[in-house]
Amino acid sequence: MASGETARTARFGVLMNPLVKDATRNGSILSVAMLAALLVNNGAAASPAVCNMRLSVELTPDVPNPLDSGFLSSLLSNQASYRLTLRGSRSGSVIVLELAGPGPEFRCQNVVEAMRKDGRVLSIHLDKEPS
């Protein structure tokens, strides 16, 4: 082989045209970029929707301690994948809660509807702005 040919020889001793080497390298880069884009898109699609709602909940006056974490979890009944967090209390027997859990939003709305059926709850209002 001539000395110019050894510069263009691939690992296995095969003579490669420099244009073919560039095309192969560019094809590999393009393949990696397409794979990365696919993984990013699948990651976004695979991540579950999450809902967060701020609620003003008016309770009956006979609730002994509405700030108790046991009471808050009892409002969720059997909705184990949802969480109620106390954000504050207002005058009377109104507490401000944040409901968080898997979405989409209609599933959170279903949890709110189930909470409305609880005998200790007089009303639930969705707060548009965080309090």
Residues 30 and 9 in one domain: yes
80/16 same-domain check = no
Residue 131: its pLDDT value, please? 42
Same domain, 61 and 76: yes
Q: Are residues 98 and 117 in the same domain?
A: yes
Q: Please give the Cα distance from 80 to 3 (Å, whole number).
A: 73
- State pLDDT tens for residues 64-85: 888 888 999 999 988 889 999 9
- Give the pTM: 0.61
What share of the chain in percent tops pLDDT 90? 44
- CATH number of domain containing 88: 3.30.70.260
pLDDT at 5 (0 to 100) = 53
Same domain, 27 and 58: no
Residues 62 and 121 grouped into a single domain:
yes
Same domain, 59 and 105: yes
Domain of 109 in residue numbering reads as: 50-126
Q: pLDDT for 92-114, tens place per residue?
A: 899 999 999 998 889 999 999 99
Query: What pLDDT does residue 93 have?
Result: 92
For the CA atoms of the chain, what is the radius of gyration? 30
